[in-house]
Amino acid sequence: MTELDSLVRELAPRVLGILARRYGDFAACEDALQDALLDASVQWPAEGFPGNPAGWLVTVAARRRIAAWRSDQARRRRELTAALLEPGSPAENAPGEDDTLVVMLLCCQPELTVPSQVALTLRAVGGLSTAEIARGLLVPEATVGQRISRAKHKLAGVTFELPGEDQLPVRLNALGRVLYLIFNEGYTASSGADLVRPDLAAEAIRLTRQLHQRLPDDGEIAGLLALMLLTEARRPARTGPDGGLVPLAEQDRKRWDTRLIAEGTSLLTRTLAAAPIGPYQLQAAIAAVHDEAISFADTDWRQILALYDHLAALAPGPMVTLNRLVATAMVNGPQVALTELAAADPGLAGSHRPHAVRAHLLELAGDREQARASYLHAAQLTLSIPERRYLEARALGTFANRGRKAAQKKKARSL
């Protein structure tokens, strides 16, 4: 990531927040900001970075917004004039101040459904593409595009104000989902040549830390932060020297970040004792069981399965179903899990994940021919190059094992 890209990612939410609070029309402000960012990408590398990049973006975006307004007869001239004469916000001159969480809350408008709030916020502030959002939400890309388009249309002309206490719980629900999905895309990129996007994962953790600091008694926010820390702790061991995927069973646990594990475990212990249990806390508890195991063989799979049972009852979903099946296989055997998978409908048409799980279960059950076919099918569906290479390698591994067994049988018959 270049210096310009890093600066843009840092400044864009703050500038968007200033524009949205000043002018009120989110869609028009976002368009104006995008034009200003395009100007910056051309001018700054050639002419040098301005002394106050945020102020520069605000000024240019404001000019763009004004030009658009002049062609829009629906805007009330008196309101715009008042906004233009308004003194500059202190945030424009405070480069250390972070408006990202505020802007995310502003995007989570009560006029929108939670799915639309999440999609709009991920696109406008989270920096994810429509395709990445669709893969994160496990819905078709066209659906996400329609949600974002309808949300922008619905919010046209809406005045963006910070929510009152009565609105905060609903908005926090959407905000937590946004941070969770940003982290997931950073921890396991849904497409491209790299398995991880550390910048996204770090940004999600940073923002969730801020949110937890502001609302320390919220159990689910604490659980979300603990989940991220306990999961991120394993990242150094998830890739090999060539960037290839290393599965959990084969990771060198000495490379796990013990500092993050200790922090996440301590945070989870405190919140479980003090707050009602929610989905993020349960997922954090599952991550903690994995992190506390000295080796893969020492993993307490019965405890993990019990936690997944609670999670499936509290917050059912396709990924919960698939992950629970893996735990079921480790406790009750792969055949039981395969039977449950055949009866289940995870609702992931077009995704590689059900096929990858089926291949893993078939491999555990010793059906290497069917496992190979499922691995190859999953490899064809994923857009992640490291995942595709891993799945293809597993397919080749099952084929090689099958070949060795056949050769051994042939040799035995000849003796």
Residue range 101-112, pLDDT digits in tens:
888 888 888 888
Contact 341, 361 (CB under 8 A): yes
pLDDT category, 9, cuts 50, 70, 90? confident
Distances (CA, A) of 172 to 17, 116, 207, 342, 358: 17, 14, 13, 36, 35
Does the structure show a pLDDT above 80 at 356? yes
pLDDT category, 394, cuts 50, 70, 90? very high
Please choose, from the candidates 183, 205, 185, 207, the residue with its C-alpha nearest in 3D space to the C-alpha of residue 194.
185
DSSP states along 17-84: HHHHHHH--HHHHHHHHHHHHHHHHHHHHHH---SSHHHHHHHHHHHHHHHHHHT-TTS-HHHHHHHH
Mean pLDDT in residue range 113-121: 90
Distances (CA, A) of 409 to 363, 366, 402: 20, 16, 11
Mean pLDDT in residue range 234-242: 95
Does the structure show a pLDDT above 80 at 57? yes
Share above pLDDT 70 across residues of the chain, in percent, rounded to a whole number: 84
Distances (CA, A) of 332 to 119, 300, 304: 38, 13, 13
Least confident interval from 30-34, 82-86, 336-340: 82-86
Does the structure show a pLDDT above 60 at 70? no
Mean pLDDT in residue range 243-263: 96
Three-class DSSP category at 217: coil
DSSP states along 263-288: HHHHHHHHHHHHS---HHHHHHHHHH
Instruction: Report residue 316 as tokens.
Output: 């059912």
Least confident interval from 135-149, 218-232, 373-387: 135-149
Q: Which residue has the higher pLDDT, 96 or 4?
A: 4
Q: Using CA atoms, how far apart are residues 287 and 292, in angstroms rounded to an integer? A: 9
Mean pLDDT in residue range 27-38: 85
pLDDT category, 198, cuts 50, 70, 90? very high
Chain-wide mean pLDDT for the chain? 85
pLDDT category, 159, cuts 50, 70, 90? low
pTM of the entire predicted model: 0.78
Q: Strands of 66-222 (E only): list them.
A: 191-192
Give the pLDDT confidence score for residue 71 in this predicted structure.
54
Contact 310, 282 (CB under 8 A): yes
Residue 316 backbone dihedrals phi, psi, to 5 degrees: -65, 150
184 C-beta neighbours (distance < 10 Å), count: 19
Give the pLDDT confidence score for residue 378 in this predicted structure.
96
pLDDT category, 412, cuts 50, 70, 90? very low
